[in-house]
Amino acid sequence: GDSVTQMEGPVTLSEEAFLTINCTYTATGYPSLFWYVQYPGEGLQLLLKATKADDKGSNKGFEATYRKETTSFHLEKGSVQVSDSAVYFCALSDNNAGNMLTFGGGTRLMVKP
Amino acid sequence: ETGVTQTPRHLVMGMTNKKSLKCEQHLGHNAMYWYKQSAKKPLELMFVYNFKEQTENNSVPSRFSPECPNSSHLFLHLHTLQPEDSALYLCASSQVGDNSPLHFGNGTRLTVT
C-alpha cells in the first residue's frame, strides 16, 4: 500500500537558518504530493502541493519539488522565522483513490530567536 | 478563521459515557472526513463521506459511529470508549475529486478516563 516517510524531529534551528525536511513516498501509480502544516492548537493547513513529476510547489517562502526518480518531496525554506515553528506533514493522494490522503508521521520544527 | 468548525474543543469522558463530536463546514464542500491524531503516530483516516454517503470506513471499531445528515455537518458518536481512544479528532472537508485539498478544523481533544 501507499506510505509516506518523513525525517523524525524535532528539528531545532536558529532564526534565518536554512530548512530541509525530508519526505519520501511509496505509491502505485502517479500520486499527488502535499505538505501540510499544523500550528499549536490548530488543525492542519495546506502549505503547498505538486501534482506531477518535476512540479515545484511553493508558498510563504517554502518550496518542494516532486522528484519521481527518487520518490521524494523534500520541503525547503531559505530563511526560517520563529513563526514557522509548527509540525509539518508530508502526504500523498493516490489518484486512483480520490482525495483520500496518506500522511507521514509529521516533523516538529522549532525555530529559536 | 477556519471554514471548518469543530465542537467541543476539549472533551473528557468516562468509559461508560455517550458523547458526540460535531463538525460543520462553511465552504460549500461535498466531502467530509474524520481523522484521528494520536501522539507519535501518523494521522489515521477513520471515515469518509462523499455527498452524504459513507464511502470509507477504515476498520474503525463500532464504538465510533459517524453520522452525516447533510453535506455541511458531520458527527462522530462515541460510546463505551477505551483509554487508548484518547486523541485529537480532526474533521476535514473538500470538494469531491482528485487533488482537491482538505480543509481541517482545529480538532476536538478527547480524553477517556
- The answer to whether A104 contacts B56, with C-beta atoms less than 8 Å apart, is no
Q: pLDDT tens for residues A16-54?
A: 999 999 999 999 878 999 999 999 988 999 999 999 999
Q: Is the link from the previous residue into B42 a cis peptide, with omega within 30 of 0?
A: no
B8, B107 contact by CB (below 8 A):
no
Residue A90 to residue A85: CA distance in whole angstroms: 16
The answer to whether A95 contacts chain B (CB < 8 Å) is yes
* A99, pLDDT greater than 70: no
pLDDT recorded at residue B98:
63
* A95, pLDDT greater than 80: no
Burial letters A75-104, b for 16+ CB under 10 A, else e = bebeebeeebbbbbbbbbbbbebbbbbbbb
Nearest chain B residue to A99, by CA? B98
pLDDT recorded at residue A65:
98
Q: In a 3-state reduction of DSSP, which class is residue B50?
A: strand
Nearest chain B residue to A48, by CA? B101
Q: How far is CA A84 from the centre of its chain?
A: 13
Task: Give the residue-averaged pLDDT of B23-44.
Answer: 91
pLDDT recorded at residue A97:
57
Proportion of chain B above pLDDT 90, given as a percent:
73
Residue A93 to residue A51: CA distance in whole angstroms: 9
- Average confidence score pLDDT of chain B: 91
- The answer to whether B42 contacts A99, with C-beta atoms less than 8 Å apart, is no
Q: pLDDT tens for residues A1-17?
A: 889 999 888 999 999 99
- Residues of B in Cβ contact (< 8 Å) with A100: 33, 45, 48, 56
Q: pLDDT tens for residues A48-80?
A: 999 999 999 999 999 999 999 999 999 999 999
Among B41, B94, B106, beta carbon nearest to A99: B94
Residues in a beta bridge with B93 = B32, B103
B37, B29 contact by CB (below 8 A):
no
C-alpha distance across the termini of chain A, in Å: 41
